[in-house]
């Protein structure tokens, strides 16, 4: 492929914005999908207008997402070649399944699973047309260990990994490579979260780090290095896998 165009969902998040900056530095065109807030990537886009486009859209709305992406493609002439799907909704009520509000549980599943389905369906139309595509989905280590007081999030991340396995088998004939990266605790800026959720994260991470052989959270660099390979032309055979980034924690 002569020119790489990356779609990044959740592009204003900690991981998504880090990927955006580093992929731009490597010469890629970027279509950055955010829900509402774009503060982490606004400057990046304004300083690189010919290489970066921002789409503000709830990814659970398929038609609007598809229309906005088609508009960017039509305007720029870019042809998407890669997808990095980082967008996620968390179980921010911090309650057991028995105590969780059914409506909130459903909203998290809707955001994480319907959102994943929609972004994949939109991107696949372009990948199949060109018989080429590289996809990295973001899961979580909770898909194999569970998450007390976060059942919706844990369930959705396990489902995303299985969507990746299924899609890899379906689209291998179209030269589309699909993998899932599932990190353990990541060191992030959590200032946008509520005080209660920040406290939950602090206590959760304190406990989990004790069990990590490397005794630290994953960094953005740790995650990007693996994803860079999975998304590269050097990777033409590894597909349908789930990679756990956990500092040695099994």
Return the CA Rg of the chain. 18
Q: What is the pLDDT of residue 1?
A: 45
pLDDT by residue (tens digit) across 32-67? Answer: 999 999 999 999 999 999 999 999 999 999 999 999
Long-range contacts of 62-66 (CB under 8 A, 24+ apart): 62/118, 62/121, 62/122, 65/33, 65/118, 65/119, 65/122, 66/118, 66/121, 66/122
Q: What is the mean pLDDT of the chain?
A: 93
CA dihedral 182, 9, 232, 24 (to 10 degrees): -130
pLDDT by residue (tens digit) across 9-25? Answer: 999 999 999 999 999 99
* CB contact at 8 A, 228 and 167: no
Q: In terms of pLDDT, which residue wins out, 150 or 249?
A: 150
- Given a cut of 90, whether residue 105 has pLDDT beyond it is yes
Euclidean distance between CA atoms 65 and 33, whole angstroms:
9
**Residues 114-121: what's their mean pLDDT?**
98
Euclidean distance between CA atoms 78 and 67, whole angstroms:
15
Largest CA distance in the chain: 52
**Residues 68-83: what's their mean pLDDT?**
98
**Residues 199-226: what's their mean pLDDT?**
84
List of domains in the chain: 5-245 (3.40.50.720)
pLDDT-derived band of residue 215, with 50, 70 and 90 as boundaries?
confident
- Given a cut of 60, whether residue 74 has pLDDT beyond it is yes
**CA geometry: angle 201, 57, 19, nearest 5 deg:** 55
Give the pTM.
0.92
Q: What is the pLDDT of residue 187?
A: 73
Q: Hey, which residues does 181 pair with through a beta bridge?
A: 138, 243
Region class of 149: left (phi > 0), else alpha (psi between -120 and 50), else beta: left
């Amino acid at each position: 492929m002569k020119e790489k165009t990356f779609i990044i969902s959740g592009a204003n998040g900690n991981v998504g914005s880090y990927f955006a900056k580093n992929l731009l530095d490597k010469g890629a065109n970027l279509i950055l999908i955010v829900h509402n807030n774009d503060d982490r990537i606004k400057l990046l886009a304004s300083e690189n207008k010919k290489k970066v486009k921002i789409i503000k859209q709830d990814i659970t709305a398929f038609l609007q997402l598809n229309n906005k992406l088609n508009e960017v493609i039509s305007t720029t002439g870019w042809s998407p070649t890669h997808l990095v799907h980082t967008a996620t909704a968390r179980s921010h009520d911090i309650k057991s399944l028995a105590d969780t509000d059914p409506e909130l549980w459903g909203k998290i599943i809707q955001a994480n699973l319907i959102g994943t389905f929609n972004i994949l369906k939109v991107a696949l139309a372009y990948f199949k047309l060109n018989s080429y595509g590289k996809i990295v989905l973001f899961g979580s280590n909770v898909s194999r260990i569970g998450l007390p007081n976060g059942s919706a999030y844990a369930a959705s991340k396990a489902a995303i990994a299985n969507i990746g396995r299924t899609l890899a088998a379906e689209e291998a004939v179209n030269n589309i490579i699909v993998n899932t990266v599932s990190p353990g605790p990541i060191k992030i800026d959590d200032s946008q979260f509520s005080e209660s959720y920040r406290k939950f994260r602090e206590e959760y991470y304190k406990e989990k780090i004790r069990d990590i052989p490397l005794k630290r959270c994953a960094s953005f660099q740790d995650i990007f290095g693996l994803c860079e390979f999975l998304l590269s032309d050097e990777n033409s055979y590894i597909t349908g896998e789930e990679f756990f980034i956990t500092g040695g924690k099994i």
